[in-house]
Amino acid sequence: MAATPESLVKKKIHAILKSRGAYAVNYIGGISANNGTPDILACLHGRFIGIEAKAGKNKPTDLQTLNLKRIDAAGGLALVINEENLPLLEDILDGPHPRSNYHLFARPLTEADTGAATPTKRKPKET
Whether the pLDDT of residue 89 is over 80: the answer is: yes
Each residue's pLDDT tens digit, 31-68 = 777 889 999 999 999 999 999 999 998 999 999 999 99
Whether the pLDDT of residue 127 is over 70: the answer is: no
Where residue 85 falls among pLDDT bands split at 50, 70, 90? very high
| Mean confidence (pLDDT) of the chain | 85
Q: Of 59, 57, 94, 56, give the one whose Cα is nearest residue 77.
A: 94
Say which range, 5-9, 19-23, 95-99, 120-124, has the weakest mean pLDDT. 120-124
Where residue 18 falls among pLDDT bands split at 50, 70, 90? very high
Domains and CATH numbers, the chain: 5-28+35-109 (3.40.1350.10)
**What is the percent of the chain where pLDDT is above 90?**
58
One DSSP character per residue, 58-91 reads: ----HHHHHHHHHHHHTT-EEEEE-STTHHHHHH
